[in-house]
Amino acid sequence: MHEMSLCQGVLKILQEQAEIQNYSRVNSVTLEVGELSTAVPESMEMCFDAITRGTLADGAELIIVRTRGEAWCRKCEDLVPVKERFGPCPQCDGVDIELRAGDALRIQELEVD
Ligand SMILES: [Zn+2]
C-alpha cells in the first residue's frame, strides 16, 4: 500500500530527529497532506498506527492538515485553485499552469517528550 511507505518515511524522520533533538517519545505529529497528493488521510492514520507500534511514536496522535491545491496560471497571471493535479485553470480553462501548493506531504509540527 502506498500509504504504508509514506508512513514508514514519516517514522524514519521521527527516529532521525529523535537523535538530533534528543527526545525519546513522540506524542503527536501534525502532518501536512495536500489535497492533490495521492495519500488518503484515513489510510494514513491506520498505517501510522500500525507502523509506530512498539516504536518511540507508539500511541502518538496523527493530526492531518489538508492544504488546498493552488497553481499559477500564466495566461491569467493569477493564482488559481485547482482540484486535480494536472487539471486546467478554472478561470480560462488553459493548461499553462504551474502547481504551487497542495501536493506536499510533510511534517508541520511535532510534540515530543
Ligand atoms: Zn487561467
What is the 100 CA–ligand 1 centroid distance (Å)? Answer: 14
Q: Give the whole-angstrom CA distance, residue 32 versus residue 77.
A: 27
Global confidence as pTM? 0.83
Q: Domains, the chain, ranges and CATH?
A: 2-68+102-112 (3.30.2320.50)
Residues 6+ apart with CB under 8 A from 74: 94, 96, 97, 98
How much of the chain exceeds pLDDT 90, in percent?
91
Residue 1 pLDDT greater than 70, yes or no: no
Using the mean position of ligand 1's atoms as its centre, give its distance from the Cα of residue 98 in Å: 11
CA pseudo-torsion sign 23, 24, 25, 26? positive
CA of 44 to the centre of ligand 1 (A): 33
Locate all alpha helices (DSSP H) within 1-113, ordered by sequence. Answer: 2-21, 41-52
For residue 53, give every residue at least 6 positions away whose Cβ sits within 8 Å of its Cβ, in sequence order, or none: none
User: SS3 for 108?
Assistant: strand
Q: How far is the CA of 106 from the centre of ligand 1 (A)?
A: 28
Cell readout for 24 is 525519546
Tally of CA atoms within 13 A in the half-sphere of 52 that contains its CB: 26
Each residue's pLDDT tens digit, 42-66: 999 999 999 999 999 999 999 999 9
96 alpha carbon to ligand 1 midpoint, in Å? Answer: 8
